[in-house]
Amino acid sequence: MSSTIGFIGLGHMGGPMAQNLLKAGHRLQVFDLVPEAIQSLVQAGAAAAASAAEAAKGADLVITMLPASRHVEGLYLGSEGLLASIAEGTLVLECSTIAPESARKVSAAASRRGIRMLDAPVSGGTGGAVAGTLTFIVGGSAADLESARPYLEAMGKNIFHAGGAGAGQVAKICNNMLLGILMAGTSEALALGVANGLDPKTLSDIIAKSSGRNWATELYNPWPGVMENVPSSKDYAGGFGVDLMLKDLGLAAEASMHARATTPLGELARNLYALHSTQGHGKLDFSSILKLYHQPR
Ligand code: NAD
């Protein structure tokens, strides 16, 4: 069944996600603040919209993929906000990674207008967005998730229902806090081995088959040249930026304070990525955290 989808936010993630919806046969009305981002979707068959409200007009489904909480609240809320121009009953998928509190606030405002909103942050990176193999971590009603499922399946492979509104964001933040910690830990272990005379590839192969193995040693090694086609082997270009990881670790810290939970390693990782960012590396892939531990001679 072909639907009309309003897609807003066509960056590293939103662009390829929108492309996959086009490939699945849907009609897309797209909007981004950056005109070039709109143009590459238009070349693939989408209709350009002049504003977010125009993208949402007449759409069966609205999807947003924006940087952070302030962009999402800024877009949806207020008398001029997008919620005021979306038709009652419309399904909205908010896929950005944002604070659970923000997701709940926007979702509550949507339900007051009879709009069905799900928080559906993703995992899987830009590679997963291009390949259509993202993991969607969904918060909201189970019935709305069933309505969204065919669209989610066009962009992703794994779909989880984490709980009510905001629960998708909580689960996503927990995952990314762990990811930030394990990437720093993996970098630390590799740098220790190399400082003691080991070859980084040999050590990585050993860890990948031993009890310290993890996603970084298996799929996303931070040491340049150990693995092909990962950001570390491309001068840390592309992938998931240090500043986005820093944002997620900040969200974890907020969630931790909110719930009076204890997250000492998450806090330490947040400080390491903040230091790394202030050293001018904010736009590099987050695996560049290795540079804190090792400077090539
Ligand atoms: P990005 O910065 O590449 O894209 C965001 C896009 O939103 C930009 O093109 C920007 O112009 C647009 N935008 C901002 N405000 C807008 C507005 N008011 N109206 C229309 N467009 C607007 O970011 P990204 O890498 O695509 O990430 C998007 C979200 O996905 C973030 O919340 C990020 O944390 C999350 N995420 C990213 C990755 C990754 O690997 N990049 C992985 C998982 C989740």
If one residue of 29, 30, 32, 82 were mutated to test the ligand 1 pocket, choosing by the most ligand atoms within 8 A of its CB, it would be 32
Which H or E run contains 127?
A: helix 125-131
Q: Where are the beta strands (DSSP E) in the chain?
A: 4-8, 27-31, 47-48, 61-64, 91-94, 116-119, 122-123, 134-139, 156-163
Q: Where are the domains of the chain?
A: 4-164, 170-292
- Determine the pLDDT at residue 153: 98
State how beta strands 134-139 and 122-123 pair.
antiparallel
Query: Tokens 């005379």 label which residue?
Result: 197
- Determine the pLDDT at residue 127: 86
Q: What are the backbone angles phi and psi of residue 250, rounded to the nearest 5°?
A: -65, -40
| Fold held by 4-164 | Rossmann fold (3.40.50)
If one residue of 12, 75, 219 were mutated to test the ligand 1 pocket, choosing by the most ligand atoms within 8 A of its CB, it would be 12
Closest ligand 1 atom to 123 CA: 43
Residues in the ligand 1 pocket, defined by CB under 6 Å: 8-14, 31-34, 37, 52, 65-67, 71, 75, 96-97, 122, 125-126, 240, 244
Burial class (CB in 10 A: 0-12, 13-18, 19+), 195: exposed
Global confidence as pTM: 0.93
Query: Tokens 């998931």 label which residue?
Result: 240
pLDDT digits (tens, 9 = 90+) for 95-134: 999 999 999 999 999 999 999 999 999 999 888 999 999 9
Q: Where are the beta strands (DSSP E) in 66-198?
A: 91-94, 116-119, 122-123, 134-139, 156-163
Query: What are the residue ranges in the chain where pLDDT is below 50?
Result: none
**Cα(49)–Cα(26) distance, integer angstroms:** 16
**Cα(77)–Cα(110) distance, integer angstroms:** 9
Choose the catalytic residue: 105, 172, 247, 291: 172
| Fold held by 170-292 | N-(1-d-carboxylethyl)-l-norvaline Dehydrogenase; domain 2 (1.10.1040)
- Determine the pLDDT at residue 239: 86
Q: Is 201 a catalytic residue?
A: no
**Cα(231)–Cα(281) distance, integer angstroms:** 13
Residue with CA nearest ligand 1 atom 1:
11
- Determine the pLDDT at residue 125: 85
Identity at 160, one-letter amino acid code: F
91 neighbors 123 (Cβ within 8 angstroms): no
Question: What's the full length of the chain, in residues?
Answer: 297
Same fold, 4-164 and 170-292: no
